[in-house]
Structure 1
Amino acid sequence: MMEGKTFSTLKISSLKKEFPAMNNESVGAFALVLHSHIPFVRKAGEWPFGEEWLYEGLMETYIPLLDIIYDLLEEGIKAKFAISITPVLMEQLNDQYLLSRFEHFMDKEIERADRDARKFSSRKDYAYERLAIFYRTIFSKVKKSYYERYQRDLLSAFRKLQNENCIEVLCSTATHGYLPLLKCDSSIYAQVKIGIETYRKYFGKRPRGFWLPECGYRPEYYFEEAGKKYYKPALDEFLVEQGVEYFICDTHALEGMETYSAEKRIGPYGEVKAPKIECERKSRGTSFLPYFLKSGCAVFSRNKETGLQVWSGEWGYPGDGNYREFHKKDSDSGLQYWRITDRKIDLGLKQIYVPENTVLKINENADHFNHLVEDLLLNFRKRNGQYGIVVSPYDTELFGHWWFEGIFWLKEVVKKIYLNPNVKAMTLSEYFTCSNPVEVIDLPESSWGNGGKHYVWYNSETEWFWPYIYEAEKLMESAVKKYTHSKGVSRGLLNQAARELLLLQSSDWPFLVTTGQAKEYATQRFLLHYQRFRNLIGILEKSEFGQKEINYLQEIEDIDNLFPEIDYYLFSSKEKE
């Protein structure tokens, strides 16, 4: 970082530096980025919506992911993943109530597999019995890793990997607020600031890289209200203020091409049904290089080709007929015993899953991906003569949860790229430190959602959310100004109101409505946090607090207990004329 200077005051030539040889032969770098996020679900329902989202993430993705990274490290291979963990997820991974509930969940999953094994054995359905035993073995391994390998402390396991330069952990906003649509600068500032502070609490240092939720970005602009004109800083200016050096945008924001349709993706994005939306057409650069913005913050861009190979439900790897079918579940246990077979056939026609038949396919897909990355870098080197980077971001939960075999595929990809002399696996910070970005660009309003802008979070089904959020933002700023030096119960009310505002701003609520995954649940959660916020502000304005009001505050503090060190003053007005 160049403190006290912006790129408008620097000569570009002064920023040039030589890119050191990564090894004797590699022609480019590869960075796999995994974005990890679960909304705040503590004491907010269990099944089918609520806490089990977290428990499934732990059981099917986060612990298996740690296992493969540590397994690779024992083989002498550093994965070099960049893994973003949202602060709201960090808090949940450190919550003893949730961890104890997860431990019970693991036991229940093992019991379910046991019951299924006995059920299938009694029916002489031996192929299904073998699958039930297969699941029991996997679940037991996860449980063993959780207790013995990681000592119930997954954040420490990630921190150790980062300290050993095996992975890089990226930061994100406090509750995954969708920043481009927030109205008040105080909210953006608080989302970023609390995110950074939470990261420092768990990882012992400031983050260099930042994941903007949904890759949502907006540039600077001027806003008029009540006859006054206000300057609204670009989102990267908030990041630079906190010492962040770079973030990631979607492909089309940089290369100007059309986004690939969300309808073609696997996972939760695959449920989005939207009209065709015109997106950014102007080309500003290539996704093979990072660029600076005038704030001094740098931006990497998602590679389209490698993204499609994993995200696409039509012709990406996860759609192979041998892989496990996500959507068909046993009516008793909920376990999945069938394979995709054919994407176009009815669930009733799906055939039994055979794990042994996926081994060669996983290897084949990993090999294809390895050569795809190599070819992309070789072609870029031939065209531009530069040492480029392929940046491949995905939702972490895609691997293991949505795409069951994805965890094993990741491990094979790391091995193959490690052995490929033409490709160097690197974290984003490693590449950024050694690269020579010299060009300053502007970046358009964009996201990685359907259509490349804000449709997923602002449409006919979700537009009613935003007036509630804007009202709460203004009320919070007014309360901070009125009760600047609050102590005791008043301070507690303001701090809890700040937590409720952060939870209200979570991008998950409009997302779950738009995708149809949990429309009613998301609506209820949104209105619940709004009501809690208004109740807390209402109590504050009474000035006199009886035991009833104190009990209510304590009840909400116990439920929505994230960010214990929060300071409501972060929400003081930041607008500048």
Structure 2
Amino acid sequence: MSEKSTVPGQFTLVLHSHLPWLAHHGRWPVGEEWLYQSWAATYLPVAKVLRNLAAEGRSHLLSLGITPVLAAQLDDPHCLSGMHHWLGNWKLRADEASMAGNTALGAHEHRLATEALDDFETRWRHGSSPVWRELIDAEAIELLGGPLAHPFQPLLDERLRTYQLHEGLADAQHRVGHTPAGIWAPECGFTPGMEKNYDAAGISHFMCDGPALRGDTSLGRPVWDSDTVVFGRDLHVSYRVWSPKSGYPGQPYYRDFHHYDHASGLKPARVTGKTVAGPDKAPYDPELAAAAIERDVADFVATVRERLFSESERIGRPALVVAAFDTELFGHWWHEGPQWLDQVLRALPEAGVTVGTLADARDRGYVGERVELADSSWGSGKDWRVWAGDQVADLVDLNTDIVRLALDTLDKMRADQDGLRDPVADQLLRETILTISSDWAFMVSKDSAAGYARDRAHEHAHAVREIASAISGGQLAKAQRLAAGWAAADGLFPALDARRLGPALGGNDESGGGSLRNHAGPRGRRMDAEGPR
């Protein structure tokens, strides 16, 4: 026991929960089905794991980022109804698999569907906010917030950057009664100057990827001359779980994500081998998977312990190790992920590892010297190429044009109005922030449902253009009809109020407040008049 109790430092697990706005925008293969699959496979079981641990008196388990746009969907009446239907359909598909002769698969899926449906009907029918609030109030988790609709902030007009950040924090306060002190910035995107936005918004800490700190993630770092601290993802530890080439989910006994039984839509196979074709994969066996979980939990705990010892020795003081992942890895992508999460959060303290949140790390003094944090992200190349490279140049130009049009139109409307709230202005702004979501460029750059992503960006851009055109033409009744029509599909963030958008910035910015154009060099780096930062 003495060996276990002498592990120096702190381990922090950070999960980032995010999906773009999917409600009313297609169902299959991309659209609401993506939301319901993630909800069933990840959000329900992960919340259950955390709730069970909290019931045992465990606290400060992890930092959980929930983007406002995801929270909006998990509270939305249309999505709640659709999710309830989806869960019932899952149970029926499991029964059909059993009747078709695949009894093992059917029984496994029937049990999971039954548990999920019961959990949803008991705790989730009024939305996710009561679920998260319970965990926050119990101090089981630290809530991390973020900007409203997940923009890539380094490329974003400063007025919209400030607006989305402040409104995103306010949205969390409305939903769960807590204003996050920390955020997971979308895509971990950063450019110098953003730390001032964070300071002004009351953000005390945020995440970046390890390479942004040149791999030295053993302590948080105050950024430039601000009071805001950046914490870096430890890739050595994080990649034990999930990496581009290896990691636990790819092990032979875990359920294969890609292979479907097309008759039922269920996933019948285990990974088996990386070069084994789908039809040749072995049947999924939960007992074999359970044994693999135990091995990988033990491996992860040993990795964390070794890292805490080695990093503490290297820096001459107790070190911090932060492992960070998309929440959707746990369940949606990696079927056994919630089970692994449950076991590892129990095993780490048993092995003498102090577990805490990012807020704990700051409060406990795991903070080092200041860092002049440069342009960075957690995308390919750790620069901006995914969101500003050649593959998405058309989307960069689209975003530039739409932001300029929207801001110009909103400024003219403000000058002509009496100060009352205007649902037309609100919807114009709402469609603008949906147009510039970082997800569309990411999906195009990664060739993941790229057609859907481009369609979505152009659909929201079309909404902005036709509302703005009606306004500029003096057709106010038409603008009202158009705004109401688009709000039927895109009515998220009902508290969104265009009057809170800051006034036009002064200076020589010809775009009326910022432009995306000419910010991307050949490798996605930001370009200013003097060259790359």
TM-score (norm 2): 0.91
Cross-structure match for 1:4: none
- What's the CA shift string for 1:301-350, capped at 9, x where partnerless? 00011111111253311111011111110111110000110012222221
Contact 1:72 1:79 in 2 (8 A): no
Q: CA contact under 8 A between 1:338 and 1:350: conserved in structure 2?
A: yes
Report the residue type matching 2:427 in the other structure.
Q
Paired with 1:549 and 1:218, the residues of 2 have a C-alpha distance of: 37
Identity %: 30
1:67-109, CA deviations, whole angstroms, 9 ceiling, x for partnerless residues?
1111222333336111100001111111111100111111111
SS at match of 2:92: helix
Q: How many residues align?
A: 502
Alignment of 1:104-119 (within 5 A): 104-119=85-100
Residue 459 (structure 2) aligns with: 528
- The root-mean-square deviation of aligned C-alpha atoms, in Å, is 1.8
Change (3 A) 1:98 1:489: farther
2:175 and 2:420 map into 1 onto residues whose CA distance is 28
Residues 489 and 550 of structure 1 are in contact (CA less than 8 Å); yes or no, is this contact kept in structure 2?
Answer: no
Residue in structure 1 matched with residue 201 of structure 2 by the alignment: 242
Q: Partner of 1:176 in structure 2?
A: 150
The residue identity in structure 2 corresponding to 1:243 is G
| Residue 568 of structure 1, CA deviation | 1.5
Alignment partner of 1:166 out of 113, 116, 140: 140
Can you list the C-alpha shifts for 1:425-458, whole angstroms capped at 9, x where unaligned?
Answer: 1011011112153521101111111111112222
Are the aligned partners of 1:33 and 1:84 in contact in 2 as well (CA < 8 Å)?
A: yes
Of 36, 47, 64, which aligns to 2:45?
64
Of 439, 445, 448 in structure 1, the residue corresponding to residue 378 of structure 2 is: 448
**Which residue among 390, 402, 427 is the counterpart of 2:357?**
427
Matches of 1:409 and 1:574, distance apart in 2: 49
2:228 aligned partner, one-letter code: C
Q: Does 1:100 align with 2:87?
A: no
Change (3 A) 1:427 1:367: same
Matches within 5 A, 1:26-105: 26-78=7-59, 80-105=61-86
C-alpha distance after superposition, 1:250-306 (max 9, x if no partner) = 1111025xxxxxxxxxxxxxxxxxxxxxxxxxxxxx201001011221100000111
Say whether the 8 Å CA contact 1:290–1:437 is kept in structure 2: yes
Offset at residue 519 of structure 1 (A):
1.2
- Residues 325-474 of structure 1 mapped to structure 2, 5 A cutoff: 325-421=256-352, 423-435=353-365, 437-474=367-404
Q: How far apart in 2 are the matches of 1:151 and 1:349? A: 40
Mapped to 2, the partners of 1:540 and 1:456 lie a distance apart of 34
**Other-structure match for 2:130:** 156
Report whether the alignment pairs 1:218 with 2:191.
Answer: yes
> Equivalents in 2 of 1:95, 1:150: separation in Å?
11
Counterpart of 1:479, as a letter, is: T
For 2:529, the equivalent position in structure 1 comes to none
CA contact (8 A) 1:81 1:167 kept: yes
Distance 1:526 1:571 in 2: 24
The separation in 1 between residues aligned to 2:180 and 2:95, in whole angstroms, is 44
TM-score (normalised: structure 1): 0.84
CA separation of 1:502/1:554 partners in 2, compared to 1, >3 Å: closer, same or farther?
Answer: same
Shift of residue 201 of structure 1? 0.9
CA distance in 1, matches of 2:401, 2:125: 44
In structure 1, runs of 5+ residues without a counterpart are 1-22, 121-127, 220-233, 257-285
Task: Tell me the residue number matched to 1:15.
Answer: none
Q: Distance in 2 between matches of 1:47 and 1:363?
A: 35
Structure 2, unmatched stretches of 5+, are 509-533
SS of 2:390 mapped into structure 1:
coil
| Residues 214-239 of structure 1 deviation map (CA, whole Å, 9 limit, x = unaligned) | 111111xxxxxxxxxxxxxx112111
Amino acid at match of 2:390: S
Give the superposition deviation at 1:149. Answer: 3.8
Runs in 1 of length 4+ with deviation above 6 angstroms? none
Instruction: Give yes or no for the alignment of 1:475 onto 2:405.
Output: yes
Q: Does 1:146 align with 2:146?
A: no
Q: Which residue of 2 aligns with 1:205?
A: 178
Contact 1:69 1:79 in 2 (8 A): no
Pairwise mapping of residues 265-276 of structure 1 onto structure 2 (< 5 A)?
Answer: none
Contact 1:109 1:139 in 2 (8 A): yes
Q: Distance in 2 between matches of 1:529 and 1:488?
A: 26
